[in-house]
A = this chain, B = another copy of it.
């Protein structure tokens, strides 16, 4: 992309132009030339939005909850972006008919911008593209950006780590979810939403979560934040205002008392480290290709004559030696 195009695109994003925003996200998603320059221009204008991660298993009613939450945040005067990285989300095209109809209501509102991300690609690519998309929406002036993910895999944990506030959905009667919860999701939850709270077992699930929080000292420090456990019935809109209140409370908590600054620094360091890893890998591989070193190394690793660690060491040694 040439400089005038880049300038007009970044100007468009900063002015909140929807077509420019969509084009900018496509650019970073596909790692097109110019993506890096665009982000370099936009990044200093970002950092104002509250980034909210929402994760939960398929079938937890996450789509309905995000939908209602967006409407509630709009009622409170916020502008809202949604980045859906969930292949089952209606925002990603995996909608059942009812979701699609509901979604259309959101799409007509100029204070809402919805974008789905591809869930396939290179290692680490999804997280990077999601982070970049959030920077774009943030720089465009949206003051709440929701990242919607499914499940409790490494991706979701990585993506949650880039949010300011993470909502974890739980549903009564899904034993597997509780298992996944035990496996470590306590670390990433700032707010629990027990959705479908009109089902049997909701009170039991809430009690179980309370006990877990009690046992987990990370969440019970004197000056710490203890994740509230809210009951919602998203399809009926029940509990959504309380959920929005909890988001505000966590945002206030981050702004006051230095927690937000520490979190911002941790986010920045991770972002820098990941960007560095990607850039270094791309350049090193290209350099090894250019000097004819790459293909023979791949052949040797394929034939198991050489292990990948030794082979990688050879590429690095060559680069060091270049001066």
> Counting CB contacts under 8 A, is A184 at the interface?
yes
Are B304 and A44 neighbours in the complex by a CB distance under 8 Å?
yes
Which chain A residues in 273-301 approach chain B with CB under 8 Å? 273-281, 283-285, 297-299, 301
Contact of A120 among B187, B302, B311, B313 (CB under 8 A): B187
What residues of B have a CB within 8 angstroms of the CB of A58 in the complex? 57, 174, 176-177, 180
What residues of B have a CB within 8 angstroms of the CB of A268 in the complex? 298, 301-302, 308
Q: Which among A14-22, A106-114, A154-162, A224-232 touches the partner chain? A: A154-162
Are B43 and A180 neighbours in the complex by a CB distance under 8 Å?
no
Q: Given A120-B157, A279-B313, answer yes or no on A271-B308 (Cβ-Cβ < 8 Å).
A: yes
Are A39 and B307 neighbours in the complex by a CB distance under 8 Å?
yes
A interface size (C-beta, 8 A) = 83
Q: Given A94-B182, A187-B120, answer yes or no on A276-B272 (Cβ-Cβ < 8 Å).
A: no
Copies in the complex: 2
Which chain A residues in 38-89 approach chain B with CB under 8 Å? 39-40, 42-47, 57-59, 87-88
What residues of B have a CB within 8 angstroms of the CB of A40 in the complex? 307, 309-310
> Counting CB contacts under 8 A, is A312 at the interface?
yes
A-B contact pairs, 10 of them (CB 8 A): A42-B307, A45-B304, A58-B180, A94-B179, A151-B153, A269-B298, A272-B298, A272-B308, A275-B309, A283-B316
What residues of B have a CB within 8 angstroms of the CB of A323 in the complex? 322-323
Are B158 and A312 neighbours in the complex by a CB distance under 8 Å?
no
Q: Given A58-B180, A123-B127, answer yes or no on A277-B280 (Cβ-Cβ < 8 Å).
A: yes
Contact with B along A106-150 (1 / 0, CB 8 A): 000000000000011101111100000000000000000000001
